[in-house]
Chain A
Amino acid sequence: MKRRQKSAKHKKAVESLRKSEERYKELADSLPQTVFETDERGNLTFANRTAFEIFGYTQDDFDKGINVLQTLIPDDRDRAKKNIRRVMSGEELGGTEYTALKKDGSTFPALIHSSPIIHENKPVGLRGCLIDITKRKQTEEEVKSYQKKIEALINSSKDLVFLKDKDFRYLIANKAHEKVFNIKVKDIIGKTDFDFMPKEVAEGCRRSDEKTLKSKDPIEKEEFAGDRCYHIVKQRVVDVEGNIMGIAAVIREITARKKMEEALQKHTRDLGERVKELNCLYEIAQLVEKPEISLEEIIQGTVELIPPAWQYPEITCARVTLEAQEYRTANFRETAWKQASDIVVYDNRIGALEVYYLEEKPEIGEGPFLKEERSLINTIAERLGKITERKKAEEDLRRAIEELKALDKMKSDFVSNVSHELRSPMTSIKGYTDLILMGIAGKINQKQREFLITVKKNADRLTRLIDDLLDISRLDAGRIELNLQTLNIPGLVQEIVKSYQIEARARKISLETDLPEEFPLLRADSDRIKQVLTNLVGNALKFTPPQGKIVLGFQGKKKEALFWVKDTGPGIAQKDLSTIFEKFQQLGKRKKTGTGLGLAIAKGLVELHKGRIWAESQRGKGSAFYFALPKEKNGKSE
C-alpha cells in the first residue's frame, strides 16, 4: 500500500513533470524565435518547432545528434566555442551576432542570447534563443549606405555644408570644413562655432544663425571674413511635426569671383571715368576751335566743363584764377576737399585751376579724389596754359596785324592825300603852261614854246606818276571797288588804238588789232580794263623801235577771255619775266619815261577781276603780254 501509495505519488509527480515539460515545449514551440538547449558539450538537447522550421532539420537528424556549432558557419565556430565557455563560466555576454548555417547550406544573420543551465550549482548545459536579424541587418545596411551617400554628396562639395541643432551645435559638417578650419569633421560634430573659430568670426556666425532660426525664408548674403568672401545660404530646418530642428547651411567661398567682379567693376568705372575725361578734353578742344571765341570765354567754358568729368558732378565745383581774374562755376564754394594745379605760361606760373568737393566723399580709398582726376586736373591746367599761350600769341599777332593795317591805311591815306594835294598845283602848272602856249598871255617865241612844251610834258608825266601812285596805294589797301558792267570789247580795243595811233604813227610803228568775229559776254570794270590795256600798249610803244609792230588782240577761250599785246621790241630776259610785275621794276639801264608802276597796277587790276596776267618773251624777238579774265558762267552774264 505504501509502495502503491508511493508509486501513485511518484506517478502523480511524473505526470505533473510530464505536463510541465509539455507546457514548456508548447510554449517554446509557440515562440517565433529559435529556442534551444544543449548539454555541456554543445550537443542540442532541445530545439523548438521554429528551430526545426528555420534550419530545415528533422526529428531524425535531431535524434542522431546535432552540435550547436553545426548551426553556425565554420568561421564563427571558434568564437562561438570561446563564448560558450565564457557563458558556462557565468559571464554575461548579452546578444552575440553570428551567421547561422541552415541544413541546406544557406545562411542568415542571427543574434544569440544564451545562459548556462545550472544543476546542483553546476553548469550542465546551455539554454538560448536565436533571433533571425536579416531584416534588421538589411535596415542597418540601408541606413549605412544612405549615410554614405549623403556623406559622399556633402563631401563632394567644396562648399561648407552643415546642419546644426537649435542650440547651434553641429549635427553634420562636410569635409570642406577640415581644410577651412584645419580640424577633423568628427571633432566638429557636437561642437559650436565658438569651439574652433576665432571669437569674432564665431560671433558673426552666431548672429546670423539666430536670425536664420527666426526666419521662415532662407537667408542669403555675401560676407567678408578677413580677406575672404563667402556666399552664404542658411535655412532653418523643421521636422515632420513642424518643430524647429536647427539650421542648414551652404557656404561657398567666392573670393576669386568677387575679386574678378570687383576688378571688372573697377575697370568699368575707370572706363567711365576715362570716357568722361576724354569727353571733357574733347569739349575743351571744341571750345578752343570756335571762331571768334575769346580767352575769357574759353576759360569760363572750361571751368564749367570740369564738374561733369569728375566722379561726383553734383558736388564738384571749380575755379580758375588767371592773372588776378577769377572764373568759377555757379556753385563754387571753397571747402576742405580740394585739388589744385598750376597754370603755367611761358614757364611762369600765372594762375591755378582748383577743383573742390562740396561735401566729403570718404568712401574712396585714395582720398577724396581719384588718381585719374589728379592727372586730369593737371592735363586741363596744362591745356589752359597752352591755350593761354596760343591766345596771347594770337592776340599779339592780331594786334601786330592791326597796327600794320593802321600803318598801311595811314600810308594809303597819306599817298591819297599827297596825290590830291599834288594834283591841284599840277592843275595850275599845266593849265597856265597851256594858257601861255595858247597865247592868251601874249605872243611867245619859238624857243619859249619849245621850253614850255618840255614843261608841259614833264607836268603830264608827273600827273601820271601821281595817278599811278594813287592807284597802287589803293590796290595795296584793297580800296578799289570794281564797277562791273558788260564789257564792249571791240569798242574798248578801238578806243585804245585810237588814243595811241597818233603817237605810233609818229614813231613809225604799226599798231594793229587781232580780233575775232564774235565776242563773249564779259563782265568787268571797263575803265580799269582800259587802264590795263593802256599800260600794256603804252609800255609796248615805249620799247618798240621804229618800223616795229604792235598787235592788240583778243580771243574768247572756253573759260577765259584772253587779251594780249605783242610787240617787236628787244624782248625780256627769262630771269626778269617773273619780276616785271613788281613795283618799280624797270628794265635796262636806258631811262624810259615810265613810273615803274604800270605793270604792277595792271597785275593788281587783273587780279582784282580774279584774272591772271603774264608775259612771254625771247631776247631780241619781242614780248607778248597776256591777261585772262574768267568768263561768267552761262546765265550769270547779263
Chain B
Amino acid sequence: MAKVNKKKIMIVDDEEDVVKLMVAALGTKDFDIATAYSGEECLEKVERKKPNLILLDIILPGIDGLEVLKKLKSDVQTKTITTILISASAHKKQMERGLSAGADAYIVKPFDPLELKRKVREILKKSS
C-alpha cells in the first residue's frame, strides 16, 4: 500500500555504494528517492524532481557540495529546499560554513543508518 504524499528526497554522493546504502537506510517505502552522482547532476535534476530534502555530500568531483548549496540557495525555485550536508569529520569546517550558507543540518560519515533516517524524519517534520 503506497503512502500518499511521500516526501521527495534527493541523495547526492559520488560513491554508488554510499548512495545505495542511504537509499536502503531510508527505504523507498517511506520516501520518494532520487539520486545524483555529481553536483552538476544534482543541479540539473533538482528543478524537475523538486525534492523536499537533499542529502548533499560535500566532497564531490567537479562542483563540490558547498558550491551546489550556494547555487540552490541563490535560486528562488530551489532556495526553500531543506538540505543536509554529509561528509567526514575532517571536513567539519566546511560543514559549519555550509550551515551558515543555509544548510539545515549535517551528518558525519560514517553514519549509523538508523540515525540517518531519524535525523531526516526530524528535519522534515520541522520544516513542514
Contacts and interface: CB of A to CB of B under 8 A. Distances in A.
A427 B90 contact: no
Contacts of B61: none
Nearest to A483: B96
A459 B109 CA distance: 13
Contact of A434 (B15, B88, B109, B114): B114
Contact of A423 (B109, B113, B114): B109
B118 to A, nearest CB: 13
B24 A440 contact: yes
Contact of A431 (B89, B93, B110): B110
Contacts of A107: none
B88 A420 contact: yes
B21 interface: yes
Nearest to B92: A527
Give the size category of A's interface with B.
Answer: 20 to 34
A427 B22 CA distance: 10
B24 A428 contact: no
Interface string A383-419: 0000000000000000000000000000000001001
Given A435-B113, A463-B110, A428 B90 contact: no
A459 B111 CA distance: 12
Contacts of A416: 90
Given A435-B24, A440-B24, A430 B90 contact: no
A552 B91 CA distance: 30
A425 B110 CA distance: 9
Given A428-B17, A435-B25, A419 B88 contact: yes
Given A435-B113, A438-B114, A424 B21 contact: no
Nearest to B96: A483
A contact face: mostly helix, strand, loop, or mixed: helix
B contact face: mostly helix, strand, loop, or mixed: helix
Contact of A428 (B21, B59, B89, B114): B21
Contacts of A432: 17, 21, 24
B105 to A, nearest CB: 17
Of listed A431, A434, A459, A470, residue having the most chain B CB within 10 A: A431
A467 B110 CA distance: 11
B113 A424 contact: no
Interface in A487-524: none
Contacts of B91: 420
Interface string A443-463: 000000000000000010001
A185 interface: no
Contacts of B18: 424, 427-428, 431
A467 B93 CA distance: 15
A426 interface: yes
Contacts of A419: 88, 90
Contacts of B109: 423-424, 426-427
A420 B109 CA distance: 10
A424 B112 CA distance: 13
Interface in B96-113: 109-113
A416 to B, nearest CB: 6
Nearest to B88: A423
A434 B17 contact: no
B24 A427 contact: no
A470 B113 CA distance: 24
Nearest to B89: A467
A423 B17 CA distance: 12
A463 B88 CA distance: 10
B110 A427 contact: yes
Contact of A426 (B24, B59, B110, B112): B110
Contacts of B22: 431
A435 B112 CA distance: 9
Contact of B21 (A420, A431, A481): A431
Nearest to B109: A427
Contacts of A427: 15, 17-18, 21, 109-111
Contacts of B24: 432, 435, 440
A431 B15 contact: no
A430 B15 CA distance: 15
A420 B90 contact: yes
Interface string B7-27: 000000001011001101101
A423 B21 contact: no
A119 B94 CA distance: 168
A429 B15 CA distance: 13
Contacts of A435: 21, 24-25, 113
A564 B18 CA distance: 40
Contacts of A440: 24, 27
A438 B88 contact: no
B111 to A, nearest CB: 7
B90 A470 contact: yes
Given A427-B21, A428-B17, A434 B112 contact: yes
A142 B89 CA distance: 130
A419 B113 CA distance: 21
Interface in B45-68: 59
Contacts of A459: 110
15 contacts: A416-B90, A419-B88, A419-B90, A423-B110, A424-B17, A426-B110, A427-B18, A429-B110, A430-B112, A431-B18, A434-B112, A435-B24, A435-B113, A459-B110, A481-B93
Given A420-B88, A428-B21, 10 more contacts: A420-B91, A427-B15, A428-B15, A431-B110, A431-B113, A432-B24, A435-B25, A440-B27, A459-B110, A481-B93
Interface of B: 15, 17-18, 21-22, 24-25, 27, 59, 88-91, 93, 109-114
Interface of A: 416, 419-420, 423-432, 434-435, 438, 440, 459, 463, 467, 470, 481
Minimum-distance CB pairs A-B, first 10: A427-B110, A431-B21, A428-B17, A423-B88, A430-B110, A434-B113, A427-B109, A426-B110, A424-B15, A470-B90
